[in-house]
Structure 1
Amino acid sequence: MNQASEKLAHSLGQLKLLQDHGLVALQSKLLDRADRERLVKHGFVWI
């Protein structure tokens, strides 16, 4: 897996952890800035 794919996989893992705790609406402070920006860029979350 290339570095960009690994970073996206990490960000998706962080999102999955939050979802596993029952969160369906996220506050931006719950994700690191890099993870949040990566997930927005790839269409997994919207701001």
Structure 2
Amino acid sequence: MKSLKDYKIILRPDDNGTFVAYIPAIKGCHAWGETPEAALCE
């Protein structure tokens, strides 16, 4: 079984000033946070 560390994670600013992190290879896998670090921790 793959770990999240095995996937490419995309991090980008969102329109409302927060950040979104998502994994393109896993449909529906995304998280938001007030900072880039918070989005990655989700």
TM category, shorter: under 0.3
Structure showing the higher strand proportion among its residues: 2
Question: Of the two structures, which has the highest relative contact order with CA contacts closer than 8 Å and spacing of 6 or more?
Answer: 1
Structure showing the higher helix proportion among its residues: 1
TM-score by length of 1: 0.22
